[in-house]
Amino acid sequence: MTVRVVLVDDHHMFRTGVRTELLEAAPGFIDFVGEAANVEDAVSVIRREEPDVVLLDVHLPGGTGHGGVDVIHGCLGVETAAGAPVRFLALSVSDAAEDVIAVIRAGARGYVTKTISATDLASAIRRVADGDAVFSPRLAGFVLDAFGVAAGEIAEVDEELDRLSAREREVMRLIARGYQYKEVAKELFISVKTVETHVSSVLRKLQLSSRHELTAWAMGRRLI
Amino acid sequence: MTVRVVLVDDHHMFRTGVRTELLEAAPGFIDFVGEAANVEDAVSVIRREEPDVVLLDVHLPGGTGHGGVDVIHGCLGVETAAGAPVRFLALSVSDAAEDVIAVIRAGARGYVTKTISATDLASAIRRVADGDAVFSPRLAGFVLDAFGVAAGEIAEVDEELDRLSAREREVMRLIARGYQYKEVAKELFISVKTVETHVSSVLRKLQLSSRHELTAWAMGRRLI
DNA sequence: CGTGCCATGAGGGTCGCCCCTGAGGACCCC
DNA sequence: GGGGTCCTCAGGGGCGACCCTCATGGCACG
């Protein structure tokens, strides 16, 4: 039985490469029913085609800048004709923990890097379509760490981030980018004093002591 | 007359995409005589095949970590059977000025991003083989700025950096990394007041107005 | 209906950042 | 020996960053 696949990547030639190699490596197994090069197109194609599996690049133009995460969020609840949920398999050049965690939290069922061979990719697609989760060997370790019982450092990061309120995260992002308090105040239409309060809370909650450490913290987690 | 091409990219599927699309878009025009996925293989394939054009990803595993630049440096003086130099055409996801400048300085004859269409890429290869230089429209501007008579901002970067004294550069590096004046003073065994003087000089010479801009400036030039 | 969290904002204080002026000693070049 | 540049340092002032306490109103949870 064939697997209906939508392919999302902003590089046309990479899409051709994936298509060509998969059709050669596993003839008749995959039915490519759509492609997209940005977040908006991806969401509409997926909603229209209701594929079994979406092959998805993590870094995409469009949306709020979170690429693959935005696509998945935009397709919550979409089901195939058979009633199974649409499965997402992330296909990325990045093996950064933050990217992996983000897209898995968003709901992807697997994550493989673009160095994968065509035959391995074909079997990964088959397994994801069947409901399995698939990860490149190098990634499997810390994915288990992050979601397992003994939560490692990656999981703790998000716990810390979760302790911040929405407004605090908003202020934090601007401060980490080098905005002055005055500029943040103008941007968010609040007073400088309120900005100071939020910044103090953020620094206290994250156990940091200056905006420079905050910048380093945010950069280390690819939040900016 | 066909153009002999070597294709260097660390993603197997992207290579397939390029091959497939170019053979479709311009049948009989290109003769793919070799491929490589890392710096070492690329150099040996190019030396063996002596192609007319090398299509080259900027970011590659192997070598000293400078990817495409290492490949070009490793192939200095290699000529085709006809006696023409081997031409390099960079093909990259990055449109960062630093990447472009670095690979052009190393000797590449062109730089196009991976969003290019197959027909445009085919004509770019033709022109590079003929000795022309080819750049994506978005990149052409600052490449000309950087290498032209009226040196633009990229060329000035080094001039600006040269205007700093050795001590000033030293202080700048620490400040840009987020060190406080006190910490810089302790690190360099000088007084806080001296640090202030140096920082003022640096900011004035670089026409910046705060340590945050300095951080951004230094990061943009990969100095930290 | 109290309790708590959140967003907002104020007053007041310490300290860091950045600027200006000024100055002495070391070194180099003509 | 007199510019020129660099490194060193000081005083003083304006303003931003960060802290503390305190106060208000909204909203949710029990």
Predicted pLDDT at A149: 25
Q: How many angstroms from the chain centroid is the CA of residue B29?
A: 28
Which of B33 and B151 is assigned the larger pLDDT?
B33
Could you tell me which residue, B224 or B128, shows the higher pLDDT? B128
pLDDT of residue B149: 26
Q: What is the pLDDT of residue A33?
A: 94
Q: Which domains does chain A have, with CATH numbers?
A: 3-147 (3.40.50.2300), 163-220 (1.10.10.10)
Count of CA atoms in the C-beta half-sphere (13 A) of B164: 23
**Blockwise average pLDDT, block size 10, chain A, 224 residues:** 89 90 86 90 89 87 65 68 79 71 73 81 80 62 42 40 79 87 89 92 85 79 57
Is any atom of nucleic acid chain C found less than 7 Å from the CB of residue A190? Answer: yes
Supply the pLDDT for residue A55.
92
The predicted structure's pLDDT at residue B105 = 67
What is the C-alpha to C-alpha distance for residues B156 and B159, in angstroms, rounded to an integer? 5
CB environment A60-89: b (16+ within 10 A), e (fewer): bebbeebbbbbbbebbeebebeeeeebbbb
pLDDT at B77 (0 to 100): 62
Interface membership of B216 toward A (CB under 8 Å):
yes
Q: Strand C and chain B: which residues 154-213 have CB closer than 7 Å?
A: 175, 180-182, 196-197, 199-200, 203-204, 209-212
Find, in chain A, the residue whose alpha carbon is nearest to that of B175. Answer: A212
What is the predicted pLDDT for the residue at B49? 87
- A123-145, pLDDT tens digit by residue? 788 877 876 666 665 555 555 44
Interface check B182 vs A, CB under 8 A: no
Q: Are A123 and A141 in contact (CB under 8 A)?
A: no
Our measurement of CA A155 to C1' D30, in angstroms, reads: 30
> A34 and A7 in contact (C-beta within 8 Å)?
yes
Residue B155 has pLDDT above 70, yes or no: no
3-state secondary structure of A42: helix
Q: Which two tokens stand for residue A155?
A: 């999981």
Chain A residues with beta carbon closer than 8 angstroms to that of B11: 14, 17, 93, 114-115
- Is the pLDDT at B191 greater than 80? The verdict is yes
Distance CA A145, CA A99 (A): 15
Angstrom distance, B201 CA to C26 C1': 20
Residue listed under structure tokens 């992207």: B14
Q: What is the mean pLDDT of residues B116-120?
A: 81
Say if residue B68's pLDDT is above 80: no
Q: What is the pLDDT of residue B182?
A: 92
The answer to whether A213 contacts chain B (CB < 8 Å) is yes
Burial per residue of B166-188, b for 16 or more beta-carbon CB atoms within 10 angstroms, e otherwise? eebeebbebbbbbbebeebbeeb
**B16 and A CB contact within 8 Å:** yes
Q: Residue with CA nearest D19 C1'?
A: A200
Contacts of A21 in chain B (CB under 8 A): 12-13, 16
- The reply to whether B17 touches chain A by the CB within 8 Å rule is yes
Provide the 3-class DSSP secondary structure of residue A158: helix
Task: Please name which of A36, A29, A76 lies closest in space to residue A56, comparing C-alpha atoms.
Answer: A36
User: Average per-residue pLDDT in chain B?
Assistant: 77
